[in-house]
Amino acid sequence: MPPLAERMRPKTLDEYIGQKHLVGEGAVLRRMIDSGNVSSFILWGPPGVGKTTLARIVSSTLNRQFFTLSAVTSGVKEVREVIEKARSTAFFNTQTPILFIDEIHRFSKSQQDSLLGAVEQGVVTLIGATTENPSFEVITPLLSRSQVYVLKPLDKDDLDELINRVLTQDEVLKNRNIKVEETTALMRFSGGDARKLLNTIELVVNSSDGDVVINDEIVTSCLQQNPMAYDKDGEMHYDIISAFIKSVRGSDPDAAVYWLARMVEGGEDPKFIARRLVILASEDIGLANPNAMLLANTCFDIVSKIGWPECRITLAETTIYLASSPKSNSAYCAINDAIQLVKQTGNLPVPLHLRNAPTKLMKQLGYGADYKYAHDYPGHFVEQQFLPDEIQGTSIWKPQENQSENKLLERLKMLWKGRF
């Protein structure tokens, strides 16, 4: 038996719930579908609001051949194979096939480039689905040939309509005695996501023998006992990324790569993971191993270029390196302390000798006077004042105990006699 979300998937626009601004009577996408002349477009919206369903309805309504690719599992090879299939099925007066690409924001530039010619030549009509802003994630030539339609989270009325339809029309649930006492928890946990709502209802029903009662306490209890009911955009997403970050910070490469695997298997956005690694390299490793930030930044660049599935190896390599690296948060603490100092002391004046003097008047006023150019002195250093008078002598950066920072500290002690 298919899951409830699949059983309740709408097959026509009349069955489709939500997005009235796009598919309601007289709305822009509805008019285009009714005309039978559909151009390429991208559906941008959060998970579970009907992007894939809408693409399938467009295809079936227009009686078009429908090809589908997932950006998570498909590479340039698969894209080219589908395009060749579309070319081979094109006959005189036949309608252009529809190519639906789920999570198109995860396609690398080269993958998107491989689509461009087919879209330009009318070999396929592209329908893309994305949860990310296509302005940042889709290449400009492809974006300029596609209309972008924004889908919204389902509101309470939409979700109420969906609940009523499920309980009265689903072939399984309509034969169960189901009483809905409260929907607050259902609405809260679904967050405007129809798929989450249906998954939660199915979870509650499957957890009950005989009559079924749906209320806030039962819904909350069921979800707490079945954490996998949360998908990558729900609470589990934040729990796993938290465990991942803390495992890297705690120098446990085994745990770190395990939580990475959980995110890989859950279909997490690889750039989200790579961004966290860059932050970790700065915040938790910092000056103990400056190479960590270089590696993390390179990882982000590689992930952006190649995407899934190959980038899992790059993410794993970086994760293991960062987890195994010595740790320091001295730079993190220093900037936070400096910001706090600025808030406490306000806009203190810059010492005159540190000011620029681009005009004659400024020079007459003493701007830049007595500044000592470090490169004119032995060792490219000369002792002078760099902080404002009011906080002169304040210690902000506090080196931590590791080989790299010990080396920096020894140099500063040698230069600044008695200060560090």
Fold of 235-324: Zinc Finger, Delta Prime; domain 3 (1.20.272)
Closest among 217, 226, 228 to 188, alpha carbons compared: 217
What distance, in Å, lies between the first and last C-alpha atoms of the chain?
71
Which pair of tokens denotes residue 288? Answer: 């103990």
> For 19-150, CATH number?
3.40.50.300
Model-level pTM?
A: 0.54
Ramachandran area for residue 162 (φ above 0: left; ψ -120 to 50: alpha; else beta) = alpha
Closest CA to 115 of 154, 149, 74, 147: 74
Please give the structure tokens belonging to residue 321. 């390196």
CATH fold match for the domains 19-150 and 156-229:
no
Residue 378, preceding bond cis, omega within 30 degrees?
no
Domain ranges of the chain: 19-150, 156-229, 235-324, 349-415
Q: Which two tokens stand for residue 282?
A: 């700065």
* Domain made up of 156-229: CATH architecture: Orthogonal Bundle (1.10)
| pLDDT at 227 (0 to 100) | 46
Per-residue model confidence as pLDDT tens for the chain (420 residues)? 788 888 999 999 888 999 999 998 889 999 998 888 888 999 998 888 889 999 999 988 988 888 888 777 777 788 888 888 888 876 655 778 899 998 888 887 888 888 888 888 888 899 999 888 888 778 888 888 899 999 988 888 999 999 999 999 888 888 888 898 988 888 887 878 888 889 889 888 888 888 888 988 888 888 765 544 444 444 456 678 888 999 999 888 899 999 999 888 777 788 889 999 999 999 999 999 999 999 999 999 999 888 878 889 999 999 999 999 999 999 999 998 998 998 888 888 888 888 887 787 777 778 888 888 888 889 898 888 888 888 888 888 888 888 888 888 888 888 888 787
Closest listed residue to residue 348, CA positions, set 388, 309, 319: 388
CATH class given for the domain over 349-415 = mainly alpha
